Amino acid sequence: MTENRQDEVVVVSFDELTDLLERIFIRHGVSAPNAAILARNCAACQRDGSHSHGIFRIPGYVSTLNSGWVDGAAVPVVDDTGGAYIRVDAKNGFTQPAFFAARDLLVDRVKEHGIGLLAIRRSHHFSALWPDVEPFAEEGLVALAFVNSMTCVVPHGGTRPLYGTNPIAFAAPRKDEPPFVFDLATSAIANGDVQIAAREGRLLPEGMGVDKDGKPTRDPKEILNGGALLAFGGHKGSTFALMVEILAAALTGGFFSGEFDWSEFKGAQTPKTGQLFIVIDPERGGNGVFRERVSEICALTVEAGQSRLPGDRRLLERQRSAREGIALSAADHAMLLSKLA
């Protein structure tokens, strides 16, 4: 670990950050195996510049654990239907340990049937989705993931919030290059980014949200204090958000974004909902050149003038972190250390 007081930055390696986060999770009641999974996930977000779901989330994780709303030591229960459809009850724990409890079985079933579904319920997802899907594509599979969150998005033309920020992630392997991965909230902006803007005193671009009276506002504090977010792309994004409620909650047996009641758990921040994975073995498609075709359409997209593809920025951040270490502000580093006390 190197400290540069002049620039108020503390540089850590991925392993150092993972270790620190693991100790924080364990300190606040997460079991050792679950803590290892959550720490790696959160450190990967920080490493890749997914700042709305990196260490920024640690105070939220800690206050939620301390509220008793989530069970950090939950042992997920896998329900193997014997076919391509696997169900997991996260037992009110975090989603990622529930996912890893069934992941190997899911891959086996995808190899067997050409497709597999993993439906997780009673789970808390407080992170980015790309860490869930990217490794499937690194193994040559195509993966889609859907998570619903907490009510803060108004349906298109509606008057009150109903949906969560409901992200969708997708990963597909490419030929001789890292997979193509996107990961996006169906809201115009993720709630985490609104919180960061509020903390930094920045106004948001137009069209992200409304205040408590339903009037458009660029002030993140007005959105967070009784206001709401809009879906991206008008009725189209709003319909995607609705689809995510259907897939991640109705299909899995989880709660809709507006259905769980955490009012008795002061400090709770993690949505208790569900997550659905759809994983496909592209080799079953039979054309034998799937990876080449994915690379081809990505290259054509750039040739057509798009300045970059989704995932490009993140991979550049990953390379920078590998080269230079992960730079944390001294204040953020102190915040992390304070969570060990």
The contact set with ligand PYC (CB under 6 A) reads 52, 126, 149, 165, 185, 190-192, 271
Q: Total residues at the site for ligand NDP (CB under 6 A)?
A: 29
Taking CB under 6 A as the criterion, which residues in 297-336 touch ligand NDP? 308-314
Partner that binds at residue 310, options ligand PYC, ligand NDP, none, CB closer than 5 to 8 Å by kind: ligand NDP
Is 193 among the residues that bind ligand NDP (CB under 6 A)? yes
Instruction: Tell which phi-psi region holds residue 233, choosing left (phi > 0), alpha (psi between -120 and 50) or beta.
Output: left
67 belongs to the catalytic site: no
- Find, among 154, 186, 168, the residue nearest to 258 by Cα: 154
- Report, in angstroms and rounded to the nearest whole number, the Rg of the chain calculated over CA atoms: 20
Instruction: Tell which one of 107, 153, 162, 190 touches ligand NDP (CB under 6 A).
Output: 190
Nearest residue to the partner ligand PYC, using Cβ: 191
Is 125 among the residues that bind ligand NDP (CB under 6 A)? yes
Q: In what order do the strands lie in the sheet with 216-217?
A: 153-154, 228-230, 209-210, 216-217
> How far, CA to CA in Å, does 322 sit from each of 48, 62, 78, 177, 216?
10, 28, 36, 18, 41
> How far, CA to CA in Å, does 260 sit from each of 6, 84, 190?
46, 29, 20
Residue span 52-71 as binding mask against ligand NDP, x where in contact by CB under 6 A, dash where not? xx------------------
Q: Strand pairing partners for 184?
A: 168
Q: Is 46 or 165 the residue whose CB approaches ligand PYC more closely?
A: 165
Tokens, residue 214 = 């339903």
Binding range to ligand NDP, per CB under 6 A, among 33-41, 81-89, 190-198, 281-289: 190-198
193 belongs to the catalytic site: yes
307 belongs to the catalytic site: no
Residue span 234-273 as binding mask against ligand NDP, x where in contact by CB under 6 A, dash where not? -------------------------------------x--
CB atoms within 10 A of CB 176: 7
* Set 28, 48, 50, 52: catalytic member: 52
- Dihedral angle of Cα 30, 32, 37, 42, to the nearest 10 degrees: 60
Nearest residue to the partner ligand NDP, using Cβ: 128
The angle subtended at Cα 294 by Cα 289 and Cα 296, nearest 5°, is 90
| DSSP state at residue 214 | S
Partner that binds at residue 54, options ligand NDP, ligand PYC, none, CB closer than 5 to 8 Å by kind: none
Known catalytic residues are 52-53, 193
Give residues in contact with ligand NDP (CB under 6 A): 50, 52-53, 125-130, 147, 149, 165, 167, 182-185, 189-190, 192-193, 271, 308-314
